[in-house]
Amino acid sequence: MTQSITVALPADLKLALDDLSKREGVTADEVVGQAIKEHLFLRQFRQLRQRLASPAQGSDALTDQDVFDRVS
């Protein structure tokens, strides 16, 4: 089920949104929906990464690759 919200945008951002939606042949709703979806995913990823990285503090696991190598 789709729900609606109202968002106020500065004129320059609205113009950029309209230009992008025209170039990509999609609606502004689709662009905004996808942008929100990606933003929420990134926030959840960063929170998870922070939560998992906290126990690694003080160990020799310094990068995402170090952690990946250990759990793989």
Stated pTM of the model: 0.68
Q: Output b/e per residue, 26-51; b: 16+ Cβ within 10 A.
A: eeeeebeeeeeeeeeeeeeeeeeeee
* pLDDT band, very low/low/confident/very high, at 69 (cuts 50, 70, 90): confident
* pLDDT, tens digit, 9 for 90 and up, residues 39-57: 999 999 999 888 877 665 6
What is the rounded average pLDDT of the residues 29-44? 96
